[in-house]
Each structure stands twice: as C-alpha cells, then as structure tokens.
Structure 1
Amino acid sequence: MSSSVAGPDCCGGLGNVDFRQADLCVMTWLLGYVDPSDPCFVAAILTIAFNPLFWNVVARWEQKTRKLSKAFRSPYLACYSLGAAILLLNILRSHCFTQAMLSQPKMESLDNPMAYRVGLALLGVGSTFVLSSFFALGFTGTFLGDYFGILKEARVTTFPFNILDNPMYWGSTANYLGWAVMHASPTGLLLTVVVALIYRVAILYEEPFTAQIYQQKASSSHKRS
C-alpha cells in the first residue's frame, strides 16, 4: 500500500467543485490508503454509526412513552443516565477511532511538524466549540433534555451558537480531524468524513423534531394564557 500518492481530480478542479459530492470524492480518494477489512477500522465505523442512532432512538422513545422518566422517577435522573451512557459510548468511539489509526500506515505527506501543528490547532478549535457549547446548554440541554420535557425558556444565542449551528457536532468533527492530522493518518481522515456524514444525517433527523417539541410548548403556553 502506497503511503503517499496524489489524489485524483474527482471533483473536476477547484473551479468546478460540486460540494454535494465533495465528501464522496474525499472518501473515494482516501479509500486508496485504507484497508476496510481491518477489524479496528470496522469497529470504528460501527461505533461512529451506532452512537447517534442510539441516542436518537432512545430519546424519541422517551419523548413518546416517558418510560425512562417513570423508571428513574424523575426526568432529570433519566436524562443524566442517558447522558452518562452517551459519554461512555463516545469514549468507546474515540478509542476505536484511535486504534483504527494506529493499526494502519501513516501518510508521509502529513508526517511533519507543520501538519502536526495544524492538527493541534484544529483540536483546539474543536475543543473550544464543544466545551463552550456544553457550558451554554448545560448538561440537560446538551444531552437531549428537551425529549424528557426539560425545556429552556428561549433558544440559546450566545457563543458559540452565534458563530454556527450545531457547534457540538462540528466541534467534535474538528477534534477528530485534528487528531487524524496529528497522527498523519489517512484512516483517521476517512473516519472523520464518516463522522461528518453521520452528524449531517443526525442533524436532518433531530432538528425538525426538536422544533416540533418547542412549537408544542409554545402552543400550550398560548392556550393557558
């Protein structure tokens, strides 16, 4: 397996880039470096795909049935428990991501001090977005409290939400990208693309449902007034 080759011009040059195909283009190029049959790589793909599926299915089930709130006798305890489970799953995902990088060759063109510093900067930016998002939302706001009936009075618009939507997701993606660049890992770069794609799907799935929850809250408040 070659450790350093030029990527194909699958996007037709910078002047003709179709950004709807950009992720697929990058994935196709990176697959030339990666052994997809490696067990560590497979484990990383499975954990990346499973985590958002898990928390969305559980949160929607809770929103419809209130089974977790009843089992824990409190929506807050139920939300804290789900949050703890999500954190543990994310630790497992990061572990699998790292093991997949270590099990496959490095990319020589990225294995230099400058690239390492770029990766470190990406990690810093990503961590800033993740941590500031957490502090702005709080634990229940971060870990799907709205599905448990724990709603905020108003939408959060302070930093980092005044910079971009879904800063937790994109900050996490930047963290994985930085980690991959620091390790000069084509496997890590490919897995980061998968993370970004999974988060895009999660956002498309989550945002309309969350908006519906707050619309129902506004309608209920209007009727009471």
Structure 2
Amino acid sequence: MFTKSVLDCCGGYSNLDYSKVARWEHRTRGLTRLFGGPYVACYSLAILILLLNVYRSHSITVAMKGQPKWALMDRPEVFYTGVALIGGGILFVVSSFLALGFTGTFLGDYFGILMEKKVTGFPFNMIENPMYWGSTANYLGLALMKASPVGVVLAGVVAISYRVAITYEGPFTNEIYRQRAQRCKHK
C-alpha cells in the first residue's frame, strides 16, 4: 500500500498510465471518437495530466512538511543549490513547452497531431527530454531548499518514473514519425 501511494504521488503509475492511454488512443482513436476530434481529446488528456501533476506536487510537499529537516542538509550552500536547480528546472520546462507547444508537450503525436519536424533548438540541443529532467530538477531543488531527505528520495522516484516513461515514449514516438515519413515517400 505504501509503495503504491509513493509511486502514485510521484508520477510512477500516473506517468505510465497516461502513456498507456495515449498508446491505446494511437491504436484505436477511441478518445478522438469519444471527444469528437483529436484536439479536444488531446486537450482533455492534457488536463488530466496537469491535474495529476498538481496532485503529485501537493503530495510531495505534504510528505516533506510531515518529516523533520535533516541538519546536514540545512545549510546555506545546500539551500542555494536547490534554488539553482529550480531555476534551471523552470528554464528547461518552460522553454520545452514554448518549443513544443501545447499538443507537442501533451502527447499530441499519439492523437495524430504531428509536428512538421523534430525540435532541435534550445533546450533540446542541450539535453534530451528537458521537460522531464527540468521537472525532476524542480523536485530535487525543492527538497534541498527544505532540507528534506524524504524529498530527495521522492525526487529520485520521480526521476526513475520519468526514465521508465522515456524508455517507452521515445521509441514509440520515433516510430510514429518513421511511419509518417514512409507514407510521405509513397505519395
């Protein structure tokens, strides 16, 4: 029970679940039919993802508040390292969103909403999956600022869940674009 709660609050199950939903959508177009179009369906899934992210952030904050600070971490240099991580994390998350747009950020390619070409500018020219790693940096930064060992562990769980999601999402997304390139060649 505890493990499921920790994974739920940190995106472990919700991350994998919405990837499963998006793959199902790609195969069946079930959400597109239900919502009357790919954009409405994509935006609806995006709202669910955003709500799950709010829940995860709230849960992590509550967990950190409920645990004592660790004196070893309760130092100015650790605090400012946390501030720097949050600054970098916000930069990666916001710049990723601006580069990808709403549907590019929220699995639009699974709904058939494809980008013209792969985004290669900042921040994608610095790091792969900058939104995931920026988000992880935000959680780790907050944990350091709060001198919370529980927060560090939970940021680690977030990082692991994102790593697993990347393992599945990356190749699947590449295959979607490969199939489109094949269709375009045959036209």
The alignment's TM-score, normalised by the length of structure 2, stands at 0.95
| Structure 2 letter corresponding to 1:47 | C
Once the two structures are TM-superposed, the CA of residue 88 in structure 1 deviates from its matched residue by 0.4
What is residue 185 of structure 2 aligned with on the other side? Answer: 222
How far off its partner does 1:93 sit?
A: 0.3
Instruction: Report the counterpart of residue 123 of structure 2 in structure 1.
Output: 160
Letter of the 1:70 counterpart: R
Partner of 1:146: 109
Q: Please tell me whether residue 117 in structure 1 is matched to residue 80 in structure 2.
A: yes
Give deviations 1:96-145, integer Å, cap 9, x for gaps.
Answer: 01111111121101112222111111101001000000000000000000
Deviation at 1:43, TM superposition (A): 3.2
CA distance 1:44–1:146, change in 2 (3 Å): same
The unaligned stretches of length 5 or more in structure 1 are 1-36
Match of 1:47 in 2: 9
Supply the distance in 2 between the matched residues of 1:183 and 1:42 (Cα, whole angstroms): 24
Cα RMSD for the two superposed structures: 1.4
Partners of 1:44 and 1:93 within 8 A in 2: no
Higher gyration radius (CA): 1
Structure 2 match to 1:58: 21
The match for 1:71 is: 34
Amino acid at match of 1:177: L
In 2, are the aligned partners of 1:100 and 1:187 still within 8 Å (CA)? yes
Distance 1:216 1:116, change over 3 A: same
Deviations 1:58-113 (A, max 9, x none): 10010011011111111001101100110000000000011111111211011122
In the alignment, structure 2 segments of 5+ residues that lack a partner are none
Q: CA deviation at 1:42?
A: 6.3
174, 181, 195: which is aligned to 2:158?
195
Question: Partners of 2:105 and 2:7 in 1: how far apart?
Answer: 24
Amino acid at match of 1:162: N
SS in 2 for 1:161: coil
CA distance in structure 1 between the partners assigned to 2:8 and 2:47 by the alignment:
20
- CA shift at 1:217, angstroms? 0.2
Distance 1:51 1:191 in 2: 15
1:178-193 alignment, distance < 5 Å: 178-193=141-156
Q: Answer 1 or 2: which has greater helix percent.
A: 2
